Structure 1
């Protein structure tokens, strides 16, 4: 999603305070810089390495950037979705692009493609912020299906959502029978910061039907650019914001929707006592990660940070997850396409 117009308004005082603590001068950026594990961002999160190898590159005539979603694809490769309607296949070890497929809506128009999951048959479910929508695509980019969307979640005037504030995150819960999409910002009429997570249930050959909906409270001034399910059914949630002259705020939360109220039938959410929000626990504020020699092209509270909005789990063992993040450079010369390899203990 494009940050400049939206996130300046939503900038948070918290980001400003964070920036005052550690605007760090760093040495030359190292694409693929490797460091021993244990580089702690918090007691539960550490960063192994980062890579700028794909920054400002092209593949098969297509700009490699604007990365908004990641997913583990067939044979252990990575699928990386650009918000400019391009779906890349990447080598999981080197990140080198191996294929690209162009996506479009039913009229052949580009998507504002933000969320991605790979279904068990190898097809892709892709969310677009434009309407918003979720479509199923074949491996070669043909539209196979389109999921229903509640009227309230549609962009005004059709619904109550703000433009560029709809389906950013997309994930399957364990078992792949429940699909979950996270809105980035609040609906008109809901209290600022309370965003809705919509689910769909798989019904055999009939595809997906609308399921329960839950409410999640983001930190002041931040939105939700990505969500991914853990093997035990909880959620990793990214929260992010941007402040001009300061930089990005990026926080990683562990959230549990299992006891949250189904808000599908609740018109407005105002923090009422009878609505149980999704419980969340801060895992790390990424401003506290070691910079690992990274440099930033614009002010950042930590030069490692950029516009991070893609996330996927690439491996797990005994409560420890390997997590891959990526930043959306908005095809902007002062932003960077950067991949982050984290380890998370949940």
Structure 2
């Protein structure tokens, strides 16, 4: 994998197929009953876990999805709960409470499972990336550059730091995505921080950063890898009285510049961004009979925060599962979405 190592200062990203308008435009979706765009189809959705409980714990607040080494589905709640779900029925089968190294609750937003079944979990408070055993035992944490920390220590905004977490297929690169931007960067710039290791048996060390441009008015709620190493990116926004905007995109950071030493990433800086391909505006999906508890451009939509690839037909078509975070709010829904994604060929 050719991860960013080059000096910043040349080239620009290519952004193909951007939707029109902040609320989503016409991506040319064919007139098919399940097509959201030429690249994305929605097969089904499920609200079966909405406003339910398990072991006296509220089931919801889901911010991330992953699979453990046994093939069970993990759903991370952002209020210190890690649920194990049956991958077929999505019903809870286990629950592990989480806490930081001082026993305090976590605002847990991203999760990946390492080859030894330990869990890397990102929090957007500091931000941080901590490692846990399967039973929730705290095992350590990774260094984070000061610039990515919440002001006044760093240049990030409260609740807009590490929202997505991804481990690349070769298990040598861990990536955390910033939900929002840093002060001094262009408003649409989102930084992705990496940690690297020479082989999966080694410890991670701080790696390069690369930059990505989000669609206007949207933040990044999740990243998850596809088999060829590109990242599926969930971009999300919300407007009162309008509802959620959810875009799916691919990011290819293979030739992006390392911007860890660039104080302000702007159009004038001239750095090479991760190449971006927009796949779909989910407002263009068929409703499939879904209903919403608050205004939405499409009643299927809610606050989507989690994503995981559940199957792949080579590199031709992916099965992707999304989940929304209901924030324990009566006007929101815990909803799973089953998609089929056909990514363009990697250049």
Normalising by structure 1, report the TM-score. Answer: 0.89
Q: CA deviation at 1:220?
A: 1.1
Secondary structure of 2:21's counterpart equals helix
- Which of the numbers 57, 78, 87 marks the counterpart of 2:82? 87
Within the alignment, does 1:307 sit opposite 2:303 as a pair? Answer: yes
Instruction: State the partner residue of 2:140.
Output: 145
Q: Any conservation in 1 of the 2:237–2:245 contact (CA below 8 Å)? A: yes
Secondary structure of 1:135's counterpart equals strand
Q: Quickly say closer, same or farther: Cα 1:316–1:70, change in 2 above 3 A.
A: same
Q: CA deviation at 1:273?
A: 5.0
Within the alignment, does 1:210 sit opposite 2:217 as a pair? Answer: no
Q: CA deviation at 1:38?
A: 6.4
Within the alignment, does 1:340 sit opposite 2:337 as a pair? Answer: yes
Greater alpha carbon shift after TM alignment, 265-274 vs 214-223: 265-274
Q: Any conservation in 2 of the 1:15–1:246 contact (CA below 8 Å)? A: no
Q: Any conservation in 1 of the 2:24–2:245 contact (CA below 8 Å)? A: no
Q: CA deviation at 1:14?
A: 3.3
Instruction: State the partner residue of 1:289.
Output: 285
Within the alignment, does 1:270 sit opposite 2:277 as a pair? Answer: no
Deviations for 1:317-336, whole angstroms, at most 9, x for unmatched residues? 12210000000000000000
Q: Any conservation in 2 of the 1:295–1:303 contact (CA below 8 Å)? A: yes
Within the alignment, does 1:222 sit opposite 2:218 as a pair? Answer: yes
Q: Any conservation in 1 of the 2:49–2:334 contact (CA below 8 Å)? A: yes
Instruction: State the partner residue of 2:325.
Output: 328
User: Where does the alignment leave 5 or more consecutive residues of structure 1 unmatched?
Assistant: 1-12, 19-36
Instruction: State the partner residue of 1:164.
Output: 159
- Which of the numbers 103, 109, 113 marks the counterpart of 1:108? 103
Aligned-residue CA RMSD in angstroms?
1.6
Instruction: State the partner residue of 2:28.
Output: none
Structure with greater helix share of residues: 1
Q: Any conservation in 2 of the 1:49–1:340 contact (CA below 8 Å)? A: yes
Within the alignment, does 1:243 sit opposite 2:239 as a pair? Answer: yes
Within the alignment, does 1:132 sit opposite 2:154 as a pair? Answer: no
User: Where does the alignment leave 5 or more consecutive residues of structure 2 unmatched?
Assistant: 1-19, 26-31
Deviations for 1:19-63, whole angstroms, at most 9, x for unmatched residues? xxxxxxxxxxxxxxxxxx961100110011000000000000110
Runs of 4+ in structure 1 deviating by more than 6 angstroms, as ranges, are none
Normalising by structure 2, report the TM-score. Answer: 0.89
Within the alignment, does 1:75 sit opposite 2:70 as a pair? Answer: yes
Counterpart Cα distance in 2 of 1:335 and 1:276: 38
Deviations for 1:120-150, whole angstroms, at most 9, x for unmatched residues? 0111000000100000000110111110101
Counterpart Cα distance in 2 of 1:97 and 1:255: 32
Q: CA deviation at 1:157?
A: 1.2
Q: Quickly say closer, same or farther: Cα 1:51–1:206, change in 2 above 3 A.
A: same
Q: CA deviation at 1:202?
A: 2.1
Q: Any conservation in 2 of the 1:85–1:111 contact (CA below 8 Å)? A: yes
Q: CA deviation at 1:270?
A: 1.3
Counterpart Cα distance in 1 of 2:33 and 2:228: 24
Secondary structure of 2:283's counterpart equals helix
Q: Any conservation in 2 of the 1:203–1:209 contact (CA below 8 Å)? A: no
Deviations for 1:88-142, whole angstroms, at most 9, x for unmatched residues? 0000000010000000111111111000001001110000001000000001101
Instruction: State the partner residue of 1:252.
Output: 248
Greater alpha carbon shift after TM alignment, 271-280 vs 258-267: 271-280
Q: CA deviation at 1:207?
A: 1.5
Counterpart Cα distance in 1 of 2:101 and 2:168: 28
Aligned residues: 317
Q: CA deviation at 1:75?
A: 2.4
Greater alpha carbon shift after TM alignment, 248-257 vs 69-78: 69-78
Q: CA deviation at 1:254?
A: 1.1
